[in-house]
């Protein structure tokens, strides 16, 4: 686990699941964590509990991401890590029957939200000489699933954004890495199960990993041990990664 003492971290979609676990994991390693959700009511207790900063905003709105980054910079003078975690699984269903507005909303959050976060953080990180941008991706970026057209397309695009950022900004000290966590026991996974669509919904709940696993992995990804994955993806399905993070013996 990386020592994050004195570091400033922004986690989007921090009200529950992987986001909330990630905020706690970074705080436990000494970071000041900005926890962002659409409503501060959803994350105020979490922020208070970890000594962090509650930030309201929608990642799909560029100005909201700019304000969140500015608030942390005003508070602490820097931003060392951005965790693009906010995401939507829906709409789940046949592509031809999907509501265009709902489909577009998934793109706005899962893909454009990542872009807005990167765009807001990049000038700050460049000015201070570096930083780390982590994006919570998915195996769906590589493997299409029935009923998940928006999710698969947006996650594939988000992975390409990670590669693009690395291509453009590694020389400025920016570390860009994606995490494919596998199936995680969160509310999103419950929605997948309830849909009954595609094989993922049929998985037994016991096979899903706890959200603390990807959270700890995201902290590890801030360490030099993860430098070999710059511009690419860390997969938590990989047993070697699980050992390197310390999740399994």
Instruction: Per residue of the chain (249 residues), give pLDDT as tens.
Output: 789 999 999 999 999 999 999 999 999 999 999 999 998 888 999 999 999 999 999 999 999 999 999 999 999 999 999 999 999 987 889 999 999 999 999 999 999 999 999 999 999 999 999 999 999 998 888 988 888 899 999 999 999 999 999 999 999 999 999 999 977 767 677 677 777 777 676 666 666 789 999 999 999 999 999 999 999 999 999 999 999 999 987
Strand pairing report for 174-180 and 131-136: parallel
The H or E element spanning position 83 is strand 81-84
pLDDT of residue 243: 95
- State the catalytic residues: 151
Model-level pTM? 0.93
- Domain spans in the chain, listed from the N-terminal domain onward: 8-245
> Taking Cα atoms as reference points, which of 221, 132, 130 lies closest to residue 179?
221
Cβ atoms of 84 and 178 closer than 8 Å: no
What is the token pair recorded at 130?
Answer: 């570096």
pLDDT of residue 205: 63
pLDDT of residue 200: 72
Instruction: Give the whole-angstrom CA distance, residue 140 versus residue 27.
Output: 29
pLDDT of residue 140: 82
User: What separation in angstroms does the CA of 24 have from each of 35, 86, 110, 206?
Assistant: 10, 16, 22, 23
Instruction: Give the other-Cβ count within 10 Å of 93's Cβ.
Output: 18
Instruction: Give the whole-angstrom CA distance, residue 137 versus residue 152.
Output: 10
pLDDT of residue 134: 98
**Which CATH architecture best describes the domain 8-245?**
3-Layer(aba) Sandwich (3.40)
pLDDT of residue 246: 93
pLDDT of residue 194: 74
């Amino acid at each position: 686990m990386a020592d994050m003492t004195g570091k400033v971290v922004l986690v989007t979609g921090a009200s529950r699941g992987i986001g909330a676990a990630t905020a706690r994991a970074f705080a436990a390693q000494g970071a000041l964590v900005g926890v962002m959700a659409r409503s501060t009511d959803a994350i105020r207790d979490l922020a208070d509990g970890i000594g962090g900063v509650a930030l309201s905003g929608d990642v799909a709105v560029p100005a909201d991401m700019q304000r969140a980054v500015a608030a942390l910079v005003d508070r602490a003078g820097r931003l060392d890590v951005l965790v693009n975690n906010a995401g939507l699984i829906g709409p789940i269903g046949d592509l031809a029957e999907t509501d265009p507005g709902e489909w577009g909303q998934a793109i706005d959050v899962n893909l454009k939200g990542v872009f807005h976060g990167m765009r807001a953080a990049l000038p700050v990180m460049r000015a201070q000489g570096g930083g780390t941008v982590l994006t919570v991706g998915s195996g769906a970026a590589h493997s299409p699933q029935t009923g998940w057209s928006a999710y698969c397309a947006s996650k594939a695009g988000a992975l390409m954004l990670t590669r693009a950022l690395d291509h453009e900004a590694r020389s400025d000290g920016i570390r860009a890495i994606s995490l494919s966590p596998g199936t995680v026991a969160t509310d999103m996974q419950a929605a997948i199960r309830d849909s009954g669509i595609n094989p993922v919904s049929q998985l037994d709940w016991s096979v899903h990993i706890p959200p603390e696993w990807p959270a700890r992995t995201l902290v590890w990804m801030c360490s030099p041990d993860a430098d070999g994955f710059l511009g690419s993806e860390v997969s938590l399905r990989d047993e070697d990664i699980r050992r390197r993070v310390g999740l399994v013996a």
